[in-house]
Chains A and B, each alone.
Chain A
Amino acid sequence: MSDYARKPRRKYCAFCKDKAEYIDYKDVQMLRKFMTDRGKIKPRRVTGTCAQHQHSLSMAVKRAREMALVPYTVPVVSGRVDGRGRR
């Protein structure tokens, strides 16, 4: 590793840090932090969420999707114009 490489920051569960007992499906701003631009739930290997809170988080996101508070998917049109781009 070169001297200039950034040291990896240790990940932690943001919910455990805040001692959250319940993840609210109505807190859309918070839920969006744990979702990708396409509307998918980010994996816990990326966010550092513990297994228990990842389960609660996924339930909250699914409930928010049912209530139409967050989208199921966000269609992204590819920038390629040759017709071979994925849509």
Chain B
Amino acid sequence: MAGVVGRLMLTKLTDMRDVVLLSVACIAGAMLTPVFPFVGIPLCAASLGGLVYRERSMAAALVAIMATVVGGWLRPGDMVAVGLAVLGILSAAQRLRRADVYQVGVWLGVVLGVGMAGAEYMTARLNGLTIREYMNEAASQATVVLGNRAFSGMDVDAMTKTMIQFAPAVYVMLGFAVVVPTLYALVWSARRADAVIRPVPKLDRTDLSPHVLWPLVTAVLLMAAGRVWGGSDGVLMIMGLNLLLVVRVALLVQGLALVAALLRAGGTGRVALVIGVVVALLVDAATWVVSMAGLLDFWINFRRLDRGTGSEGIEGPAEGL
């Protein structure tokens, strides 16, 4: 029976088993996504990537639709998040064959961030609440669970206002936080399927494009304009601060790459590297220092990364006649 089905699908039995297992894993990931996005989305990525890199694009599209339907059936408000996530993963899997991994990461992060924001909006709407009421409820629950002191003594209304003002940056940052394990999941699935894709660089070899600086310039200009025209609560100032928060994450990543490269050059082990990264993430002053070092790293060649397989560096042009 299985052989007949296999012949009908013009595929080998082992391939069919893989397709079924990957489909089940993708649907399970979609069910986990609303509750644990850091687990569910990478699981979806690993399974959809497995299908795409085994040249089962049609099966991947069908599984993506099924995953969206199942995710939406479980929690209707999160249908947008699941749908955008699987759509973004499918296109990222295809684009990773040729496009630069940083470009794919930025695109996927924005898609995932928009999906998460859309899910919150849909959930609020389905419960008959406005965004302000929904955020107010979330702030009240957070105050009850964590206590007022955790939020520097802010009252619920002030917290609601802050949450609404910085929601765009928070969702984009959450999206980028999910992108990292998602990209690794795609790379893993490609390796399992013997597909050739662009590799994800290790932390100490990560070097972001200097185009990251344009949002920084825009943020500073928006904040300067907001200071003149809108005051500290004006739209321009809030837009600038949101942009600055997102750019700061990029600068932090560049700075962490620099720290990792310097630690590795100093001959420290992996444990020291992990401790260094954790300290840089947790201690506020260290975060600022590392971010500033990341900013300087766009100009100063601290790391002198070896770009090829050779170690002697480029000698210069061979100018003959």
- The closest CB in chain A to the CB of B301 belongs to A26
Say whether B299 contacts A49, CB under 8 Å: no
Say whether B307 contacts A21, CB under 8 Å: yes
Contact A67:B321 (CB < 8 A) given known A14-B315, A19-B310 = no
Chief secondary structure at chain A's binding surface: loop
- The closest CB in chain A to the CB of B320 belongs to A9
For residue A67, which residues in chain B have a CB less than 8 angstroms away from its CB? Answer: 210, 298-299
Say whether B318 contacts A48, CB under 8 Å: yes
Query: Which interface class (under 10, 10 to 19, 20 to 34, 35 or more) fits B?
Result: 20 to 34
Query: Which interface class (under 10, 10 to 19, 20 to 34, 35 or more) fits A?
Result: 20 to 34
Q: How far is the CA of A23 from the CA of B300 in the complex (A)?
A: 15
For the complex, is A20 an interface residue (Cβ under 8 Å from B)? Answer: yes
- The closest CB in chain B to the CB of A44 belongs to B317
Say whether A48 contacts B314, CB under 8 Å: no
For residue B210, which residues in chain A have a CB less than 8 angstroms away from its CB? Answer: 25, 63, 66-67
Q: How far is the CA of A20 from the CA of B307 in the complex (A)?
A: 6
Say whether B299 contacts A9, CB under 8 Å: no
Task: Name A12's contact: one of B301, B314, B318 (CB within 8 Å).
Answer: B318
Say whether A24 contacts B301, CB under 8 Å: yes
Q: How far is the CA of A34 from the CA of B317 in the complex (A)?
A: 7
Q: How far is the CA of A24 from the CA of B312 in the complex (A)?
A: 15
For residue B269, which residues in chain A have a CB less than 8 angstroms away from its CB? Answer: none
Q: How far is the CA of A67 from the CA of B308 in the complex (A)?
A: 23
Q: How far is the CA of A67 from the CA of B320 in the complex (A)?
A: 31
Q: Mark B285-320, 1 if CB is under 8 A from A, else 0.
A: 000000000000011110011011110111111111
Contact A11:B309 (CB < 8 A) given known A26-B299, A63-B210, A67-B210 = no
In the complex, the 10 A-B pairs of residues with the closest C-beta atoms, listed nearest first? A47-B317, A9-B320, A8-B321, A20-B308, A33-B316, A26-B301, A18-B310, A19-B308, A22-B307, A19-B309
Interface set of A (CB-CB < 8 Å, partner B): 6, 8-12, 14-15, 17-28, 30, 33-34, 42, 46-49, 63, 66-67, 69
